[in-house]
């Protein structure tokens, strides 16, 4: 087990708060928990991350981890080393924005392409961007922006930004409604959508709205609020997505080309001050979620577990919860949720991302100004 402490970089005025934080961190490290199907232990791998958002596993065992202020880190759990990657684009770390998701090209071992989603300023506003660069040593080279959401808006919220390559090599990513809810029903904007592009940023000719006048040809599905979790089903290859509702109505959806997922016309959620927003699903013309959380758990990060270290979790879906501060495990029967269980609740962490590692362990990123990267290992 390795840790990368930032204490030597911090001013003396922070020594006492940092000591308290390290005590809490040490208490979590090695702690054992019991779930319905497994006993597991928390291992703290790295500390001192500032609002981490996502991680991706490199073929050689190292990891890329984003921090919202604009840092991309290269972490090696084998020796505890941590290096900062140069060549990252300038981001607008405003409110919910900043450097967000990271993903590798499906043929990364051949081309070294790394993809980033982030918020950046444009036209006096903010917008979700996606770009890629080649990872060469400790630097991203030839970085190029592949996508800029339209329009840029002043609000610093609901950027979406999860990145997923499917088995055919299409690049999918999410764009939130940016706090302008009605725009999620307007195909003339990118707000509240799932986008599908080629790996180099071109529009696939069979995208559903390519031939619709006035529609954005990059759109794959629409009527989403703020999707911050997306993954592929390990057996079917289907795209799964979850999105934040307002006061209730967080949803799991299976995005399909050209379909409308309802926000804000149809929702289980309510206004933060109480009243209903629209009728609840199902409603004609709108796709209903396969599952919803009411009250809201504020989901972020999403992964199917397909490793061999936790055999009784294999096939389960794991979702981070920001508001309810836990890692949620969902058991499925096809597309139906038949069992739910909160994990890590005692630690009170806002869980931002979760990934099933190539080594069979489950990796978790809490969201905090002094956060850690942890993994769950069997204690059975």
> Residue 119 in contact with residue 94, Cβ under 8 Å?
yes
- State mean pLDDT over 183-187: 98
Taking the C-alpha atoms of residue 98 and residue 118, their distance in angstroms, rounded to an integer, is: 5
Residue partners of 246: CB distance under 8 A and separation at least 6: 225, 267, 269, 270, 271, 272, 277, 296
> Residue 153 in contact with residue 98, Cβ under 8 Å?
no
Share of the chain above pLDDT 90, in %: 91
- List the catalytic residues: 158
- 99, 115, 116, 135, 169 from 106: Cα distances, Å: 21, 11, 14, 14, 7
Q: Is the pLDDT of residue 350 over 50?
A: yes
Taking the C-alpha atoms of residue 206 and residue 199, their distance in angstroms, rounded to an integer, is: 15
Taking the C-alpha atoms of residue 364 and residue 354, their distance in angstroms, rounded to an integer, is: 5
Taking the C-alpha atoms of residue 201 and residue 20, their distance in angstroms, rounded to an integer, is: 46
Taking the C-alpha atoms of residue 355 and residue 234, their distance in angstroms, rounded to an integer, is: 13
pLDDT tens digit sequence for 283-341: 999 999 999 999 999 999 999 999 999 999 999 999 999 999 999 999 999 999 999 99
In which band, very low, low, confident or very high, does the pLDDT at 8 lie, cut at 50, 70 and 90?
very low
- State mean pLDDT over 85-89: 98
pLDDT for residue 27: 56
Residue 9: other Cβ atoms inside 10 A: 7
pLDDT tens digit sequence for 115-129: 999 999 998 899 999
Residue partners of 28: CB distance under 8 A and separation at least 6: 42, 44, 347, 372, 374
Taking the C-alpha atoms of residue 325 and residue 305, their distance in angstroms, rounded to an integer, is: 20
Task: Identify the CA nearest to 149 among candidates 119, 170, 180, 179.
Answer: 119
> Residue 111 in contact with residue 105, Cβ under 8 Å?
yes
Q: pTM of the entire structure?
A: 0.92
Domains and CATH numbers, the chain: 7-23+30-353+365-378 (2.120.10.30)
- State mean pLDDT over 360-366: 98
């Amino acid at each position: 087990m390795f840790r990368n402490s930032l204490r030597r970089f911090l001013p003396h005025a922070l020594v006492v708060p940092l000591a308290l934080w390290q005590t809490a961190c040490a208490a979590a490290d090695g702690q054992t928990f019991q779930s319905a199907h497994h006993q597991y232990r928390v291992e703290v791998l790295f500390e001192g991350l500032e609002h981490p958002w996502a991680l991706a596993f490199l073929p050689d065992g190292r990891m890329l981890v984003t921090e919202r202020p604009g840092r991309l880190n290269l972490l090696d759990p084998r020796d505890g080393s941590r290096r900062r990657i140069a060549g990252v684009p300038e981001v607008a770390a405003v409110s919910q924005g900043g450097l967000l998701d990271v993903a590798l090209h499906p043929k990364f071992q051949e081309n070294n392409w790394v993809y980033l989603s982030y918020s950046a300023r444009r036209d006096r506003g903010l917008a979700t961007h996606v770009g890629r660069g080649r990872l060469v040593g400790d630097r991203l080279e030839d970085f190029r922006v592949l996508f800029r959401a339209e329009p840029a808006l002043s609000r610093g919220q609901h950027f979406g930004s999860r990145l997923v390559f499917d088995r055919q090599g299409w690049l999918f990513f999410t764009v939130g409604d940016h706090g302008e809810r009605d725009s999620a029903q307007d195909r003339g904007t990118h707000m509240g959508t799932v986008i599908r592009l080629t790996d180099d940023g071109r529009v696939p000719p069979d995208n559903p709205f390519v031939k619709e006048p006035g529609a954005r040809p990059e759109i794959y599905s629409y009527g989403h609020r703020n999707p911050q979790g997306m993954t592929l089903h390990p057996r079917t290859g289907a795209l799964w997505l979850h999105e934040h509702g307002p006061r209730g109505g967080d949803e799991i959806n299976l995005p399909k080309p050209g379909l409308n997922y309802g926000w804000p016309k149809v929702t289980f959620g309510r206004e933060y001050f109480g009243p209903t927003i629209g009728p609840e699903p199902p409603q004609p013309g709108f796709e209903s979620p396969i599952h919803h959380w009411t009250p809201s758990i504020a989901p972020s990060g999403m992964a199917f577990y397909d490793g061999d270290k936790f055999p009784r979790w294999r096939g389960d879906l794991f979702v981070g919860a920001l508001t309810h501060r836990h890692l949620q495990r969902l058991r499925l029967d096809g597309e139906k949720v038949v069992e739910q269980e909160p994990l890590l609740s005692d630690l009170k962490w806002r869980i931002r991302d979760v990934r099933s590692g190539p080594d069979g362990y489950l990796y978790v990123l809490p969201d905090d100004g002094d956060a850690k990267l942890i993994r769950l290992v069997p204690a059975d």
